[in-house]
Amino acid sequence: MSAVALVVDDSMLIRYTVCRFLEERGFAVESATNGVEALQILERARPDLIVTDMQMPKMSGSELITALKQNAATANIPIIIVAGRASGFDEKEKRANFAIYKDIDIQCQLEKALDTVMGKRFGVGK
């Protein structure tokens, strides 16, 4: 059975890029445009990884992470933050396992994040 990832970002381009990257590495991918949608998906799916933006309408990435950490069923799911460098992204957000920036080669950073968070089995050379 393939690993499942949940990608949460209000930018269609970023969502598409991250989803495609993960699908190419064997993940089944669910996506949401904000934290509220993500929580709805989590009622029926248990992802092995969550990739989230920090600045989104309705519910921010930080609020989503708070909700995830408060729920025993989702508290231990690895989280990768995707943020714009100029977004004022708070680097003090220590609850995530990895943070990458939208405005630098996103796929190269995702590769490192995946290796770090999920282990080499999802890296290149599959």
What's domain 4-120's superfamily in CATH? Response regulator (3.40.50.2300)
Domain-wise residue ranges, the chain: 4-120
- 11-53 pLDDT per residue, tens: 898 899 999 999 999 999 999 999 999 999 999 999 999 999 8
pTM of the model: 0.82
Q: What is the pLDDT of residue 103?
A: 66
- 44-74 pLDDT per residue, tens: 999 999 999 888 889 888 899 999 999 999 9
Helices 12-24 & 106-118 angle (0-180, nearest 10): 50
Q: What is the pLDDT of residue 93?
A: 62
